[in-house]
């Protein structure tokens, strides 16, 4: 399934590397961001790849490496998970699902080789094999007002809750966290272009519109520029189901647990809007301060123009006016979920 050739407003990949989503920022025609507000749209996600993990010890191996519950992962779930360094810093965020024969990790292709290599180093004597299975999968997002009905019209069962997924033998359909603007969001995973033929009449948009919907939903992704920058709680990862505090050890588990139990978390991820975007890892400043207060997690063109951003900063700095390095002012928006203590 080839990427849709959605028009890019005022920028081209050659003139501006963020136009194509490089570095966790997507600049594109505002119409692509507006369209999901009124109708379902389909975006090819060729920038995502898949790591396959199989073997008799695959569940035990992954359970000891990742932030979430793996040994109890059911085949009808499609869950967020993370992979940390020994210092508790995220090397990767991804979504994981389980088939009869293997586990599958969905993550940006730009960091996939490094994550695959690092995970493979710790297999040791476990009966587990890891493979880059990206070329065997086609990934797309169906989202926007009416996306649920679009699935029903094509004879597909609709997953009810975020993280639920249904496999009809050709397509795996997973429901994603809802956003404040766009509540109906699904990922579609198939093996061939033919698996998506029923969606040929759905309006196609560039993948940037999907990433904009991820920002609107407050769901972060770690890209190359932000590897090892965040403990999971700094980007609200435990709030949206990416961390288990009832499992045993994994790399960085002590740091993650200590961050959770030592008291109020000082740094959090926020949703903001502004006139300009910035690449993942870019600095965010509090008004009147020369030193950076926080970090851009990702950004994308917003409906109506301008940009939506996810940014991480200290809680007390979020009360002050924030800006990007070029001076562009940022205004905080409400996240579509509450920041709660998941261990309370």
Whole-number pLDDT of residue 151: 98
78 SS3 class: strand
Whether 96 and 67 have beta carbons less than 8 Å apart is answered as no
Whole-number pLDDT of residue 344: 85
Q: Within a domain: residue 16?
A: no
Q: Within a domain: residue 154?
A: yes
Q: Within a domain: residue 282?
A: no
Whole-number pLDDT of residue 262: 83
Q: What is the CATH number of the domain that holds 161?
A: 3.30.1360.120
* CA 35/CA 48 separation, integer angstroms: 23
Please name every residue paired with 323 in a beta bridge, in sequence order, or none if there are none: 285, 329
Q: Within a domain: residue 3?
A: no
Q: Within a domain: residue 17?
A: no
Q: Which pLDDT tens digit goes with each residue over 44-61?
A: 999 999 999 999 999 999
Tokens standing for residue 164: 């639920």
Please name every residue paired with 106 in a beta bridge, in sequence order, or none if there are none: 50, 95
- Reported as type and span, the H/E element at residue 273 is strand 267-274
Whole-number pLDDT of residue 286: 95
Task: Give the domain extent around 56.
Answer: 32-265
Q: Within a domain: residue 236?
A: yes
Q: Within a domain: residue 166?
A: yes
Q: Is 61 exposed, middle or buried (0-12, 13-18, 19+ CB in 10 A)?
A: buried
Whole-number pLDDT of residue 22: 58
pLDDT beneath 50: ranges in the chain: 2-20
């Amino acid at each position: 399934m080839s990427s849709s050739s959605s028009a890019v407003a005022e920028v081209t990949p050659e003139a501006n590397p963020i136009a194509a989503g490089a570095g966790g920022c997507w600049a594109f025609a505002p119409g692509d961001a507006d369209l999901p507000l009124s109708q379902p749209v389909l975006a090819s996600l060729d920038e995502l790849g898949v790591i396959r993990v199989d073997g008799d010890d695959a569940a035990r191996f992954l359970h000891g490496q990742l932030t979430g519950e793996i040994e109890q992962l059911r085949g009808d779930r499609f869950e967020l998970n993370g992979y940390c360094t020994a210092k508790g810093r995220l090397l990767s965020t991804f979504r994981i699902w389980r088939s009869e024969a293997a586990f599958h990790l969905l993550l940006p292709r730009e960091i996939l080789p490094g994550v695959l290599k690092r995970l493979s180093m710790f297999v040791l004597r476990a009966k587990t094999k890891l493979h880059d299975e990206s070329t065997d999968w086609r990934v797309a997002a169906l989202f926007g007002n009416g996306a649920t009905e679009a699935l029903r019209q094509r004879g597909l069962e609709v997953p009810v809750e975020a993280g639920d997924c249904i496999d009809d033998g050709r397509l795996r359909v997973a429901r994603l966290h809802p956003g404040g603007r766009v509540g109906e969001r699904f990922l579609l995973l198939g093996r061939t272009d033919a698996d998506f033929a029923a969606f040929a009449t759905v309006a196609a948009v560039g993948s940037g519109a999907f990433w904009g919907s991820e920002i609107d939903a407050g769901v972060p992704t770690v890209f190359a520029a932000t590897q090892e920058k965040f403990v999971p709680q700094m980007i609200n990862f435990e709030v949206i189901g990416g961390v288990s505090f009832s499992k045993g050890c994994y790399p960085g588990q002590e740091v993650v647990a200590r961050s959770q139990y030592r008291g109020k978390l000082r740094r959090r991820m926020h949703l903001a809007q502004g006139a300009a975007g910035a690449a993942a890892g870019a600095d965010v400043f509090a008004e009147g301060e020369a030193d950076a207060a926080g970090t851009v997690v990702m950004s994308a063109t917003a409906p109506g123009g301008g940009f939506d951003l996810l940014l991480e900063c200290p809680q007390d700095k979020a009360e002050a006016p924030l800006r990007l390095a070029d001076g562009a002012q940022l205004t905080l928006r409400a996240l579509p979920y509450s920041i709660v203590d998941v261990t309370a």
